[in-house]
Amino acid sequence: MRLVGKSHAGASLPTQRSPFVGKHISVRTMPTRAHKCKTCPFLDTGWTHVRPLLTERALMDASPICHSTGAEALVPSQGPAQICRGARDVQIQFFYRIGVLAAPTEEAWEAKRREVGI
C-alpha cells in the first residue's frame, strides 16, 4: 500500500492501491449506489480528506468503487461492490456542464453510455 501519492495538480494525497487495478470491471454490470454512504467523501460529514483524490479519479481515470461495499470495503461491507454515488454525481455534473450529457441525471448518463457503446 502506498501511503502518499501525487495528484495531477501536484498535491500530496493519501492513496491506497485498489484491488481492482489491472482487472476488467464493466460499468455495464456494476451498479451505482442509490445513495451516498454515511462516510462518503462527497458528504460534508464524510471522509472529506480523500475527496480531491476521488474527484480526480472519477474525472481522469474511472468510476471509483464505494469504500463501504465489496470484499475490500474499508468499513464493514454494505454488500457487493458498487460505484460510489458521490463520485458518479461529480461525473454527471461535470459531463453535463461541458455539454456531453443532455441533463444532469442518471438517466442521461445511462443514455450517453449506451450511445457511445460503453
- C-alpha cell read off for 62: 474511472
Q: What pLDDT sits at residue 1? A: 25
Q: What pLDDT sits at residue 110? A: 92
Q: What pLDDT sits at residue 18? A: 52
Q: What pLDDT sits at residue 30? A: 87
Q: What pLDDT sits at residue 62? A: 86
Q: What pLDDT sits at residue 92? A: 97
Q: What pLDDT sits at residue 23? A: 62
Segments of the chain with pLDDT less than 50: 1-16
Q: What pLDDT sits at residue 25? A: 63
Q: What pLDDT sits at residue 19? A: 54
Residue 10 and residue 118: Cα distance in Å, rounded?
31
The length of the chain in residues reads 118
DSSP state string for 57-114: HHHHT-PPBPTTSSTT-SSS--SS--B-HHHHHHHHHHHHHTTSSSSSSHHHHHHHHH
Q: What pLDDT sits at residue 26? A: 67
Q: What pLDDT sits at residue 12? A: 43
pTM of the prediction? 0.74
Listed by start position, the domains of the chain span 34-116
Q: What pLDDT sits at residue 69? A: 84
Please work out, in degrees rounded to the nearest 5, the angle formed at the alpha carbon of residue 111 by the alpha carbons of 108 and 117.
Answer: 140
Q: What pLDDT sits at residue 8? A: 42
